């Protein structure tokens, strides 16, 4: 009798119908329509959503396709993968918003974010390169800086990027800011390109310590013989690094109510007018990628990779043509 009951149960199970899914083709069509009408319809909408103009965006996707860094799948193109990534870092969006915008699952959004982040990171050695050893065009022939700064190849400074860390780690990351940050050091040439980036240091770390680490690392920061970077007074004077004079006015007007009084003030004025380049580069970077302005839910190693990825994309835009990003 028990065997008969068991057989009846097995027959009932075997008659169950399989799970039915919605029409994937129609869903894909709606996603493509969303991309065409809401994102890359024109430059304005593309910049609003992705922080890149249309031509830059599609050339960027072509780069990944040609290098084999990303690949199209049955239901997702490289363009959509990159669009989700740029939409996230451009506006610091959470996973739930991106999955709603692109009609994807949270797992899919997270998986492709990491794929694109890795693909961008693969371009680091190509796009974050040491500066040219020639006299920069901004300096050459300009009597304000030439010949005094003709061997200067860039400027170095640090910036604080908001970080999200565990509670027990926050004291070491909370330095000059009221919140946790990572201290990011970068070298920038006079075309606003990042030529070296070192992220991951805690916000309480002094800039001089970060610079020393950059010099001691394997494949770290190198200063060619006879060349130098401009640095702030906190880094101190050493071969290859030129700070301003201490206890001397730094920011002043060359002409007007507060004219230069001596040669040290004049040097500091010239030094400041050149070193502001690195501040402009950081300003442009944070303005384009809002994810750098606020804490993110990603693990800390991913937060570090995101900073470097933003610098790589920034350089790519400059290398690919004159960037007219103004929003």
DSSP code, position 238: B
Answer yes or no: is pLDDT of 10 > 70. Answer: no
Q: Are 96 and 284 in contact (CB under 8 A)?
A: no
User: What Cα–Cα distance (Å) separates residue 206 from each residue in 18, 176, 235, 323?
Assistant: 62, 10, 9, 33
C-alpha span between 327 and 323 (Å, rounded): 12
| 220-239 pLDDT tens trace | 999 999 999 999 888 888 89
- The most confident of the ranges 185-194, 252-261, 286-295 is 185-194
**Three-state SS for 172?**
helix
Average pLDDT over residues 310-322: 86
| 44-99 pLDDT tens trace | 999 999 999 999 999 999 999 999 999 999 889 999 999 999 999 999 999 999 99
More confident residue, 9 or 128: 128
Average pLDDT over residues 139-157: 93
**Three-state SS for 195?**
strand
pTM above 0.75, yes or no: yes
- Residue 33, pLDDT score: 85
Answer yes or no: is pLDDT of 195 > 70. Answer: yes
**Band of the pLDDT at 248, cuts 50, 70, 90?**
confident
| 35-53 pLDDT tens trace | 888 788 889 999 999 999 9
- Which class for 97: exposed (0-12), middle (13-18), buried (19 or more C-beta within 10 A)? middle
Average pLDDT, the chain: 87
202 phi and psi, to 5 degrees? -65, 155
């Amino acid at each position: 009798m028990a065997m008969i009951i068991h057989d009846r149960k097995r027959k009932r199970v075997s008659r169950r119908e399989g799970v039915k899914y919605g029409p994937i083709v129609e869903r894909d069509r709606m996603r493509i329509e969303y991309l065409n009408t809401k994102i890359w319809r024109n430059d304005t909408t593309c910049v609003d959503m992705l922080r890149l103009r249309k031509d830059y965006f599609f050339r960027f996707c072509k780069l990944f396709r040609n290098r084999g860094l990303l690949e199209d799948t049955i239901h997702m193109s490289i363009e959509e993968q990159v669009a989700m990534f740029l939409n996230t870092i451009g506006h610091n969006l959470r996973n739930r918003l991106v999955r709603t915008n692109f009609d994807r699952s949270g797992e899919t959004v997270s998986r492709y974010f990491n794929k694109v982040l890795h693909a961008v990171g693969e371009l680091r050695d190509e796009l974050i390169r040491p500066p040219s050893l020639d006299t920069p065009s901004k300096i050459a022939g300009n009597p304000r800086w030439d010949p005094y700064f003709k061997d200067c190849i860039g400027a170095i400074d640090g910036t604080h990027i908001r970080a999200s860390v565990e509670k027990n780690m926050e004291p070491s990351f909370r330095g000059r800011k009221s919140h946790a940050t990572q201290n990011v050091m970068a070298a920038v040439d006079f075309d606003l390109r990042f030529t070296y980036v070192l992220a991951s240091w805690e916000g309480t770390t002094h800039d001089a310590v970060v610079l020393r680490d950059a010099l001691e690392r394997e494949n770290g920061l190198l200063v060619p013989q006879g060349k130098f970077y401009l640095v702030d007074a906190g880094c101190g004077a050493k071969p290859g690094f030129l700070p301003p004079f201490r206890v001397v006015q730094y920011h002043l007007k060359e002409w007007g109510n507060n004219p230069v009084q001596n040669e040290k003030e004049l040097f500091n004025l010239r030094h400041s007018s050149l070193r502001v380049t690195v501040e402009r580069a950081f300003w442009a970077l944070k303005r384009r990628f809002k994810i750098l302005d606020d804490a993110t839910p990603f693990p800390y190693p991913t937060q570090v990779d995101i900073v470097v990825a933003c610098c790589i994309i920034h350089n790519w835009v400059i290398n690919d043509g004159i960037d007219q990003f103004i929003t």
